[in-house]
Amino acid sequence: MQKITIAIDGYSSCGKSTLAKALAQKLGYNYIDTGAMYRAATLYALENKIIDENDNINIKALLKALPKIEVEFEVNPKTHNSDILLNGVDVERDIRTMKVSGLVSKVSAIKEVREKMVALQRLMGKKKAVVMDGRDIGTHVFPKAELKIFMIADPDVRAKRRQDEFSSKGQYFTIEEVEMSLLKRDMADISREESPLTQAEDAVILDNSELSREEQLEFVLKLIADLQFISREEQSHH
C-alpha cells in the first residue's frame, strides 16, 4: 500500500485531532497536530511575558524569541499519543487552557510565526505516511496531499464538545462562554491575512455532527481504499 499524506482541515472543535489520531494509529502513520504547535508558541509568549495582561502581543519581542521556540513531538508511553514538547518540556496539558485557546489565533496570524511552523510541518511530512490536521494543511502546507478532508459540525455540537474537553481537564465554563470563544476563534481563522481557513477545492467535506468516531474513521478509510484502487487502476493502464 503506497504511503500518502492526509490533510485534515476545518473549524475548531470539529473533532479533527480525534479523527487524525485514530487514522494515524490505524494506518501506522505519524500524526502531527499543527494546532498544538501554534499553541506551544502562544504558551511560550505567555510564560515569557511577551503577551501582557491585556492580551497585547509584543510582536518585536516575539519575533526576536522565535529562534528560541523549539517544538517537536514525542510519543507518550502511557497514552501512545504524540505529545508536544516546547524546548524539551512536555506541555500537552498546558497548551489546552482557555487562556491559550483565546490567544492562539492572534499568535498564529503573525506571518513569521506561520512561516516557521509551516517549514517545520513540511519537514515533518516530507516522508509521507503522515496525518496532519489544522486550518491550512490542504490549502497551504500540503496543497498536493493525496487526500484532503474538510471537517464541519453543527455549532451547538462543537460547543458541547469543547465544554466537555475543558471539563475533563478540570476547567469549567458555561456553554455561552465556550460558544463565544469558538465564534471569536472562527472569525479570526477565516479573516486572517496569512493562510486563512478555507476549504481546498479538492477536499472532501465531512460533517460529523451526528457521526460516531467509528463512523468517521470508516468514512475516511473507505476514501483511502478508493484512492488506492484508483491509483492501481491508473498504473495498470500505463
Tell me the domains of the chain and their CATH numbers.
Answer: 5-32+98-237 (3.40.50.300)
Cell, residue 67 = 529562534
- Asked if residues 154 and 177 have their Cβ atoms less than 8 Å apart, the reply is no
**What are the residue ranges in the chain where pLDDT is below 70?**
237-238
d(CA 75, CA 85): 10
- The 10s digit of each residue's pLDDT in 3-39 is 999 999 999 899 999 999 999 999 989 999 999 999 9
pLDDT at position 210: 94
pTM over 0.75: yes
pLDDT at position 113: 97
Half-sphere exposure of 115 (CA within 13 A, CB side): 6
Which residue bears the cell 505519524? 30
Q: Which residues pair with 72 in a beta bridge?
A: 85
pLDDT at position 76: 82
- Asked if residues 208 and 14 have their Cβ atoms less than 8 Å apart, the reply is yes
168-198 burial, b at 16+ Cβ within 10 Å, e below that, comes to eeeeebeeeebbebbeebbebbeebeebebb
Residues 6+ away with beta carbon under 8 Å from 14: 151, 152, 153, 158, 208
- Asked if residues 99 and 93 have their Cβ atoms less than 8 Å apart, the reply is no
Please report which residue ranges of 5-145 form alpha helices under DSSP H. 16-27, 34-47, 59-65, 98-108, 111-124
Which whole-number Å values give the CA distances from 227 to 63, 127, 146, in the listed order? 41, 19, 8
Cell, residue 107 = 499568535
Residues 6+ away with beta carbon under 8 Å from 25: 31, 80
d(CA 147, CA 206): 13
